Structure 1
Amino acid sequence: MLEGCVPWPEEFKERYIRNGYWEQIPLGKAFDRLAEFFPDREALVFGDQRFTYYQLKNISDRLAVKFLEIGLRPLDRIVVQLPNVPEFVFAYFALLKIGVIPVLCLTAHRFNEITYIAEKAQAKGYIISDYYRNFSYLELAKEVRDTVSSIKYVFVVGEESRGNILISDLIIADSKQSLIEQVLDKYSPDPFEVAVLLLSGGTTGLPKLIARTHNDYLYTAKINALHAGLNKHSVYLAVAPLAHNMTLACPGITGTFLHGGKVILTSSTDTATICALTEKEKITNLPLVPAMVISLLNYEMVNDFNLSSLVAIISGGSKLNPEVAKRVKPELGCEIIQQFGMAEGMLAMTDIHDPEEMKYKTIGRPLSPADEIKIVDDKGIEVPVGEIGELWCRGPYTIRGYYQAPEHNAQAFSADGFYKTGDLVKLDPSCGGLSIQGRKKDLINRGGEKISAEGLENLILAHPKVHNAAVVAMPDPVLGEKVCAYIILYPKQVITLEELNNFLLGKKIAKFKLPERLEIMDQFPLTNVGKISKKDLRFDIQKKLESVAKN
């Protein structure tokens, strides 16, 4: 296994293979099997570009061989920083087929993040667009290459190369099919080996690298697709960045391809665009982060589009509040699937056949029979059913450690291999589903009293005037922290802090949990994957308080 990664113990490897969770097939070969079975079926659509399974296999095969001819070798790492374009898919599968490890970054990352990631991974290559959203990645690549000595090759998607290698030139280059097959057989990776390096989703600091193997990531995609109900008739709209775990393999493009379905790519999170694509391409499965679900439900023109093809909206990335979840079926005519997970591994998901209490109030159950979970207190002792604690997990698709991070791993993993997620959950005794209560670090510590930001947000969202809400800690010289509520109101509505708190008291909550400041906004700042950026909200309230203190 790649040096710096933490392998599963042998007894667990044997168990996962024996029970059929790990199929001992590399991801690229698993895709190729579907391509051979459905050669003429449409696999990928981006605007006017449409590719069959055969074409997608053929392009990725040729690109894989060209990568080898240029000098890439198995276990080399290559930073991939591309938007949702077909070339991302071509390059991703090409690299998987020859055991070169893509390190997936977001287009919003800049010099600081990319140099850190490239140095950490000792990347040998870097794949970019020439320009995207008025930003020159060619300039960024020059700065990165001048700083990171390990980078030998820069590959460019677009028309301008500036002396780098154009991906389009590699795709159109001729290679004999018999030679391609011989080369790919020779370089086919070990399923135990690392397939891809993902980035951790932390809100502060620089990301950690998450090594996912061919065995565990193939299982991730398949078990997700099974629970989401994907099949050869499924049409999946990839909205969030392809570099994000949810869009890549939960079930993502990988799970869709492995069931013979079709993937539609878009880089736009605009609600009108999503509706138009759903109507045009007859989207069946629509993965959205909660903020986008809310935008879709409240879109004034939604009834102007034919969305009848929708089978399910898959909500992931953060918790979807029950009040919003309940609106999906009556207003959009499709099911809501709640999904909770992490790039590090374990996922939970509701099922369209679950009872309403499960579908709306929980994030379902862990996907795999082999998932092991604990809900523990601050001392690592399991709490009684129904009580809140931190979720720990291990299983056939949960990593045993971050890449090249032994000191952090000692804190983030238990001695017996459980990953300490930092998520606060409780097990619902009535339906057996997990419900998210927030993050350990998303607790507001008001003079020693811990307040769950997410729990308070759920109550605020029940107010008929409130469209969306985010609760953050604001600094206080006496208590340490107090509650600040950021709110987006429905049109033509007005609310005061007093009115909001009277409403919350009607919900019979403790007074110490009440917001002590109210901020009204037209829209929330969002992270690169569409989550509400609480980091920005905390910064906003801190600056406002500092300004008041100065005056």
Structure 2
Amino acid sequence: MSPLSPALFPALAEAQAAPDGPGAHRPALRFGDRSLTYGELAATASPLAARVAEAGRIAVWATPTLETAVAVVAALLAGVPAVPLNPKSGESELGHIVSDSAPTLVLAAPGTQLPPALAALERVDIDVDVNVRGRGTTSPDTGTPETPALIVYTSGTTGPPKGAVIPRRAIATTLDALADAWQWTGDDVLVHGLPLFHVHGLILGILGPLRRGGSVRHLGRFETAGVTRELSEGATMLFGVPTMYHRIAETLPDDPALAKALARARLLVSGSAALPVHDHERIAEATGRRVIERYGMTETLMNTSVRADGEPRAGTVGVPLPGVELRLTEEDGTTAVEAYDGETVGEIQVRGPNLFTEYLNRPEATAAAFTEDGWFRTGDMAVRDPDGYVRIVGRKATDLIKSGGYKIGAGEIENALLEHPGVREAAVTGEPDADLGERIVAWIVPADPQSPPTVDELADHVARRLAPHKRPRVVHHLDALPRNDMGKIMKRALTHD
């Protein structure tokens, strides 16, 4: 892993220093038919950085556009924390975030209509018109490793969203660790269609290529035709979430051009939730390429990944990244799980330079998130295989089921259910049971709604693949599972009739 550079984006600094040099003409960002070279990005972002340098904090209306990428780069050059705002957030949530983070400016694309929650903020339009822009002022990117770079708000499943303060140090070390794990270089061209208000889409998908000196082609919105086009025209990497890869797997049998394009990619990466093993296998069979998974969260950025030079084992998130310490703990939160047996479940705790600094304005929540010796409590439950590969089995709050004296992760049961030909989608929860403590409940979207699989059929299917105590005792049939913008299943929305 390379040492932490004073500049987050060395290629951009080079383009600033030598605006007529060859590096300035390298492609950096492309959104649809609009693009910027490194020289053009420097000339666009530097004047904006000078404009916001004294702003304190700035909000960015994070539409999937070139303007959002330029705004965040400008904030990082200025050493000013940026607060990416989800354009789909409701007024109440936006009001909370604005009140909590107290930005003085909001950056947005010209002509964008902003909601009333942002009305009190001074607005700055982001100019990326390469035809009328001059070279402008340069910005030296002089932030320190601990300078806050982004304040990213969590999903707020247990209360109002909390603002995770992410320093430059965490961004740089995470991206450099991924460069090591994925053999990611400036020759790579990334394609993705993820939103730009969270870690996956913004930090990995936009800032990652810029730190490497490579380029990114953003689809605006995900569509398999766009993936085919970009991978056929020189893109080398694809980032997506399981919902996207599921759509790819469904499309592949009737789309040989997509299969050919995916086979050409150097690396296919899935994250933000577990990719079902069934989709892994369908994509591998059609393309000859394996999707690799990584594991991270807002507060920690990336923790583990399957390595580009490692075994792409479906159902795992690989091994800890360089610089990241990872342990599993018992329910007391301090006793380490020593067994690497693929069965013993523990909570993931991590420690390293990839971690956030604090929850903004929430010292109590910050203190509660860490152990006394500095490990961050992720709330994710996992097992470790004998060779150290990590397999996540669910969230401690919603996916750990205690049944008949066993600790069971919902994730492995969901993967087993998805291998049944009669199951299109699956989620697993627990509900109180007088005998077992908790019984396993399956929520199923059947492949054929007229002939859904029965509870006995699914119970036998799971018991054959895993163990009898992991079979579902109750099955509910649904038309669709509730999901958020990132494709994660919202299990708290699953309620009994």
> Same fold per TM (> 0.5)?
yes
Match of 1:52 in 2: 37
Q: How does 1:243-282 map to 2 (within 5 A)?
A: 243-250=197-204, 252-279=205-232, 281-282=233-234
Contact conserved, 1:391 with 1:424, CA < 8 A, in 2? Answer: yes
Identify, as 1 or 2, the structure richer in helix: 1
Measure how far apart 1:390 and its partner are: 0.7
Q: Are 2:212 and 1:232 aligned?
A: no
**Offset from partner CA, 1:176-227 (integer Å, 9 cap, x none):** 74xx13xx34x83233211111222453432211112222211212221332
Q: 47, 53, 60: which one pairs with 1:80?
A: 60
Q: Does 1:167 align with 2:141?
A: no
Question: In the aligned structure 2, how far is the partner of 1:478 from the partner of 1:108?
Answer: 44
Asked if 1:290 corresponds to 2:242, the answer is yes
Given the alignment of the two structures, is residue 350 of structure 1 paired with residue 319 of structure 2, yes or no?
A: no
**2:228/2:257 contact within 8 Å kept:** no
Match of 2:74 in 1: 94
| Divergent runs of 4+, >6 A | 169-176, 475-480
1:389-415 CA-partner distances (Å, limit 9, x unpaired): 111111111135322211112221011
Matched with 1:532 is 489
> Shift in Å at residue 247 of structure 1?
2.1
Partner of 2:254 in structure 1?
Answer: 301
Query: Could you say which residue in structure 1 is the equivalent of 2:13?
Result: 32
Quote the offset at 1:124 in angstroms: 1.0
Counterpart amino acid of residue 405 in structure 1: R
Does the 8 A contact of 1:28 with 1:93 survive in 2?
A: no
1:514–1:78 distance in 2 versus 1, CA, 3 Å:
same
- Are 1:502 and 2:460 counterparts? yes
Note the residue ranges of structure 1 that are not aligned, 5 or more in a row: 1-18, 156-165, 546-551
| Inter-partner Cα distance in structure 2 for 1:233 and 1:329 | 25
Verify: 1:517 aligned to 2:475, yes or no.
yes
Q: TM-score, normalised by structure 1?
A: 0.80
Shift of 1:458: 1.8
Tell me which residue corresponds to 1:116: 96
Return the letter of the residue paired with 2:475: R
- Provide, for residues 420-453 of structure 1, a one-character-per-residue CA deviation record: whole Å limited to 9, x for no partner: 1111112211x22111121101224568865422
Secondary structure, aligned partner of 1:224: helix
SS in 2 for 1:168: coil
TM-score by length of 2: 0.88
What is the aligned counterpart of 1:433 among 359, 364, 389? 389
Matched-pair contact (CA < 8 Å) for 1:26–1:191: no
Letter in 2 for 1:326: E
Task: Tell me the SS of whatever aligns to 2:358.
Answer: coil
What is the identity, as a one-letter code, of the residue corresponding to 2:31?
A: F
Tell me the percent identity. 26
Deviations 1:280-317 (A, max 9, x none): x4332111111221220111533244414322210110
Shift of 1:481: 5.7
Q: Distance in 2 between matches of 1:392 and 1:261?
A: 32
CA contact (8 A) 2:241 2:273 kept: yes
Task: Please state if 1:341 is matched with 2:296.
Answer: yes
Give the aligned CA root-mean-square deviation in angstroms: 2.9
1:85 Cα deviation after fit? 0.4
The number of equivalent residue pairs is 483
Whole-Å Cα distance in 2 between the matches of residues 61 and 129 of structure 1? 17
Alpha carbons of structure 1 residues 144 and 475: separation in structure 2 relative to 1, 3 Å: farther
1:500 alignment partner AA? L
Other structure's SS at 1:27 match: coil
Deviation, 1:491, is 5.8
The residue number in structure 2 matching 1:418 is 375
- Structure 2 residue runs without a partner (length 5+): none
Q: Distance in 2 between matches of 1:144 and 1:479?
A: 51
> What SS does structure 1 have at the residue aligned with 2:24?
coil
